[in-house]
């Protein structure tokens, strides 16, 4: 029987379309308009063409910020994903302790970004912070306000502390959905622990892990509040990531034209990565569905 195609349901999404137009599309169009002009305030604009884009593409400042941003995202993914999986594998499957673990894991996720930043800013201080004080007492030179390595280590460890549990919880949910029959079959075949992980658990977790990687990547790629509170982008520019640099440019220097061009390029990179992830995920679903 031939199904009749009725596209009228699309009218039902009109309210959402209006809302998105108001909150995203119109501001984005304005940003595009800004990116090709220069302004000295008073809502007076002068045509600049593609000048800002050209300037930014050749700007060392942007290259460095992008490099730091990519390095940061890669480092935290390389730590958080394996660590999250490891934690999930070792969490109790059921009972009282499973609930305790879940609650404990969820706690860091509930803390607002700026509070996380403040916690670590104080925690790392040599005079009053436990971490800073202890490291100092052990004779390890640690000062995140002056040493770029210490600043990086603090920001990375802070992100790992804040977000590993998200990966762990997602991986845990993936693990819980594996029926017992798979493990029984593996036992009959005398599969080693590694093989159970490699051929049963990992493939079954693939979907949620991709979501976890996407979420963590996007979130770390636009990270602003935590490093801003802890290091303020310093020492020097050592922890100035893309969004911190963008805000400096847009609100600190009030260079609306270059900042608009900057945010458009930032947006394009994010759009590309999101599309790649989305495509991979939907194709995985389709493959699994067959």
- By the criterion CB under 8 A, which residues form the site for other proteins? 5, 7, 26, 29-30, 32-34, 36-37, 39, 43, 45, 47, 50, 53-54, 57-58, 265, 268, 271-272, 275, 279, 283, 286
Cβ proximity to other proteins: between 44 and 90 the closer is 44
Residue closer to other proteins (CB basis): 134 or 279: 279
For other proteins, the closer of residues 46 and 194 by Cβ is 46
Q: Which is nearer to other proteins, 63 or 198 (CB)?
A: 63
Q: Are 172 and 208 in contact (CB under 8 A)?
A: no
Closest contact distance (angstroms) between CB of 254 and other proteins is 15
What dihedral angle (degrees, nearest 10) is formed by the CA atoms of 251, 255, 257, 259?
Answer: -50
Least gap, CB of 286 to other proteins (angstroms): 7
Nearer to other proteins, 43 or 190 (CB): 43
Does the N-terminal peptide bond of residue 235 adopt cis geometry, omega within 30 degrees of 0? Answer: yes
Least distance to other proteins, CB of residue 108, Å: 35
> Measuring CA to CA, which residue among 150, 69, 149, 162 is closest to residue 117?
162
On the 0-12 / 13-18 / 19+ scale of CB atoms within 10 A, 32 is middle
Calpha distance 127→14 (Å, rounded): 57
33-67: b (≥16 Cβ within 10 Å) or e: ebbbbbeeeeeeeeebeebbbeebeeeeebeebbe
Q: How far is the CB of 119 from other proteins (least distance, A)?
A: 39
Instruction: Name the minimum Å distance from CB 221 to other proteins.
Output: 17
Least separation in angstroms between CB 45 and other proteins: 5
Nearer to other proteins, 26 or 104 (CB): 26
CB nearer other proteins, residue 39 or residue 145:
39
Of 53 and 142, the one with the shorter C-beta distance to other proteins is 53
Q: How far is the CB of 280 from other proteins (least distance, A)?
A: 9
CB of 35 to other proteins, least distance (A): 9
């Amino acid at each position: 029987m031939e199904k009749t195609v009725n596209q009228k349901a699309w009218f039902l999404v009109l309210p959402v379309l209006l809302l998105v137009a108001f909150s995203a599309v119109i501001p984005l169009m304005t940003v595009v308009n800004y990116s090709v002009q220069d302004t000295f305030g008073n809502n007076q604009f002068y045509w600049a063409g593609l000048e800002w884009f050209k300037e930014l593409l050749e700007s060392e400042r942007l290259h460095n910020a992008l490099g730091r941003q990519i390095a940061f995202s890669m480092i935290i993914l390389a730590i958080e994903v394996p660590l999250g999986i490891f934690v999930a594998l070792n969490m109790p499957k059921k009972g009282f302790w499973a609930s305790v673990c879940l609650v404990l894991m969820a706690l860091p996720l509930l803390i607002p970004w700026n509070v996380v930043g403040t916690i670590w800013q104080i925690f790392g201080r040599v005079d009053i912070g436990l971490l800073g004080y202890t490291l100092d007492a052990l004779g390890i030179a640690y000062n995140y306000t002056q040493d770029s390595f210490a600043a990086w280590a603090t920001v990375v460890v802070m992100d790992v502390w804040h977000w590993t549990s998200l990966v762990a919880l997602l991986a845990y949910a993936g693990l819980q959905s594996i029926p017992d029959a798979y493990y029984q079959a593996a036992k009959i075949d005398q599969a080693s622990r590694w093989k159970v992980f490699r051929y049963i658990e990992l493939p079954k977790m693939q979907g949620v892990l991709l979501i976890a990687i996407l979420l963590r990547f996007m979130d770390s790629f636009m990270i602003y509040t935590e490093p801003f509170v802890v290091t303020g982008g310093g020492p020097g520019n050592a922890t100035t990531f893309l969004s911190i640099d963008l805000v400096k440019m847009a609100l600190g220097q009030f260079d609306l034209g270059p900042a608009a061009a900057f945010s458009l390029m930032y947006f394009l990179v994010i759009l590309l990565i999101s599309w790649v992830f989305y495509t991979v995920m939907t194709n995985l679903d389709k493959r699994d569905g067959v």
